[in-house]
């Protein structure tokens, strides 16, 4: 039985830098007649490892099920990915509940509960003719981390603790943080942390660059992703979002309704089977393989699918 709900996304018009399309795959080879009856899937993703490896999983598993797949992975930031989906350059992407709702749809009610977050998007998304599949058990939210010695020095465990010493540290945040409701404005309204009054460096969030800057003491606080492998490998302390600024950020597959309607029942089944295995721990381990061990994304995707009986 096909399992999806109709969704939609707004998108900004930005220039896209698309990776090469690769219709081949690592899965099995269904019959030509079976493949001919299935629509072409054009998988896109945002320009960071977690979205890219999830998109690659979609691609490999769908190829094994007889779909012709084009890859347009690591397009860029969210607005560019949304434009690609709206324009038909791609028709399937991995997304995150809170980011999709807040930045893609302008929804201001962004609960930490994933089911509520998913439900809140339905009306706005349905208008655009997009569909969503199951959301993952794992979540990858924005967060803030400090070095262990900093946490020990100031007894930091939570963001409320950090607020009391915010002016004693240099903050490394994304360029868009000062205007992102879940970053600059949210920090001010939720924790009383006003970035405009602090020492701030603009760095790529959730990146090796920002992790290295923190590790080297160039900054004292880093905007990270909660599944970022350097948190463990560099022994950082991830501060608890004790006042729940961040919404649910569970992964969810988003497709155009045109694609979902044209696909067989195995389309939804394949995507949902992958999503069900994406726990927070699994996402962190994928990051360690890609970021720390420098394994290739297609190889990591293949191994994950095989380890979980999905390929």
pLDDT tens digit string along 131-147? 899 999 999 999 999 99
pLDDT for the residue 262:
97
Q: Which pLDDT belongs to residue 21?
A: 37
Q: Yes or no: say if 288 and 46 are a contact pair by the CB < 8 Å rule.
A: no
φ, ψ dihedrals at 180, nearest 5°: -75, 120
pLDDT at 175: 86
Categorize the per-residue pLDDT at 30 as very low, low, confident or very high, splitting at 50, 70 and 90: low
pLDDT value, residue 34? 53
Domain ranges of the chain: 5-140+248-307, 142-238
Query: How many Å apart are CA 304 and CA 103, to the nearest integer?
Result: 30
For the chain, report the end-to-end CA distance as a whole number of angstroms.
Answer: 20
**5-140+248-307 and 142-238 agree in CATH topology:** yes
Determine the topology of domain 142-238 in CATH: D-Maltodextrin-Binding Protein; domain 2 (3.40.190)
Reply yes or no on whether the pLDDT at 277 is more than 90. Answer: yes
How many CA atoms within 13 Å lie on the side-chain side of 192? Answer: 8
Helix (H, G, I), strand (E, B) or coil at 195: helix
**pLDDT tier for residue 237 given thresholds of 50, 70 and 90:** very high
pTM here is: 0.77
Quick one: average pLDDT of 162-168?
98
Helix, strand and coil content of the chain, in percent to the nearest 5, comes to 40, 20, 35
Whether the pLDDT of residue 160 is over 80: the answer is yes
pLDDT value for 22? 37
* Residue 10 confidence (pLDDT) above 70: no
Residue 13 has φ and ψ, to the nearest 5°, of -95, 105
pLDDT at 194 over 80: yes
pLDDT score, position 182: 84
| Higher pLDDT, residue 276 or 125 | 276
Beta-strand runs (E) in the chain: 5-7, 41-46, 69-76, 92-96, 130-139, 142-147, 170-173, 199-202, 221-225, 236-238, 250-256
Residue 252 Cα to chain centre, angstroms = 9
| Residue 164, C-beta contacts closer than 8 angstroms, at least 6 positions apart | 154
Nearest to 26 by CA among 64, 67, 83: 64
Residues 295-304 have pLDDT tens digits of: 999 999 999 9
Work out the angle between the directed axes of helices 49-64 and 280-287 (0-180°, nearest 10).
Answer: 100
More confident residue, 28 or 70: 70
Q: Which two tokens stand for residue 291?
A: 């970021």
pLDDT the model gives residue 4:
38
Other beta carbons less than 10 A from residue 209's beta carbon: 13
Burial 286-296 (b: 16+ CB within 10 A, else e): bbbbbbeeeee
DSSP string, 40-106: PEEEEEESSHHHHHHHHHHHHHHHHTT--EEEEEEEESHHHHHHHHHHTS-SEEEEEHHHIIIIIS-
Predicted pLDDT at 271? 98
- Quick one: what percent of the chain has pLDDT higher than 70? 88
Q: Is the pLDDT of residue 306 over 80?
A: yes
Q: What is the mean pLDDT of the chain?
A: 88
**CA separation, residue 223 to residues 57, 171, 178, 202, 292 (Å):** 27, 8, 12, 10, 19
Q: How much of the chain exceeds pLDDT 90, in percent?
A: 72
Report whether pLDDT(47) > 80. Answer: yes
Architecture of domain 5-140+248-307 in this structure: 3-Layer(aba) Sandwich (3.40)
Under 8 Å CB-to-CB from 242, ≥6 apart: which residues?
158, 159, 160
């Amino acid at each position: 039985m096909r399992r999806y709900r109709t969704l939609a996304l707004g998108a900004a018009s930005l220039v896209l830098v698309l990776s090469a399309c690769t219709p081949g795959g690592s899965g099995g080879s269904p019959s030509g007649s079976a493949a001919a009856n299935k629509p072409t899937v054009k998988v896109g993703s945002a320009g960071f490892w977690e979205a890219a490896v999830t998109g690659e999983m979609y691609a490999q598993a769908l190829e094994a099920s007889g779909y012709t797949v084009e890859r347009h992975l690591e397009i860029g930031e969210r607005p560019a990915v949304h434009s690609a989906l709206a324009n038909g350059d791609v028709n399937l992407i991995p997304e995150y509940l809170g980011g999709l709702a807040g930045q893609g749809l302008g929804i201001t009610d962004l609960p930490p509960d994933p089911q509520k977050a998913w439900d809140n998007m339905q009306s706005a998304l349905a208008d655009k003719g997009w569909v969503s599949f199951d959301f993952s058990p794992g979540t990858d939210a924005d967060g803030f981390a400090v070095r262990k010695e900093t946490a020990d020095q100031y007894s930091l465990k939570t963001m409320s603790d950090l607020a009391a010493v915010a002016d004693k540290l240099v903050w490394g945040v994304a360029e868009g943080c000062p205007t992102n409701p879940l970053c600059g404005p949210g920090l001010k309204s939720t924790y009383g942390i006003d970035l405009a009054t602090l020492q701030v460096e603009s760095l790529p969030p959730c990146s090796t660059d920002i992790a290295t800057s923190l590790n080297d003491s160039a900054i004292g606080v880093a905007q990270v992703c909660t599944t970022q492998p350097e948190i463990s490998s560099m022994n950082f302390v991830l501060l608890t979002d004790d006042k729940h600024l961040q919404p649910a950020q569970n992964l969810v597959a988003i497709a155009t309704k045109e694609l979902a309607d044209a696909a067989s029942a195995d389309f939804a089944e394949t995507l949902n089977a992958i999503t069900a295995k994406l726990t927070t721990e699994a996402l962190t381990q994928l990051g360690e393989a890609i970021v720390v061990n420098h394994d290739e994304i297609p190889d990591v995707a293949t191994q994950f699918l095989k380890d979980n009986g999905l390929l």
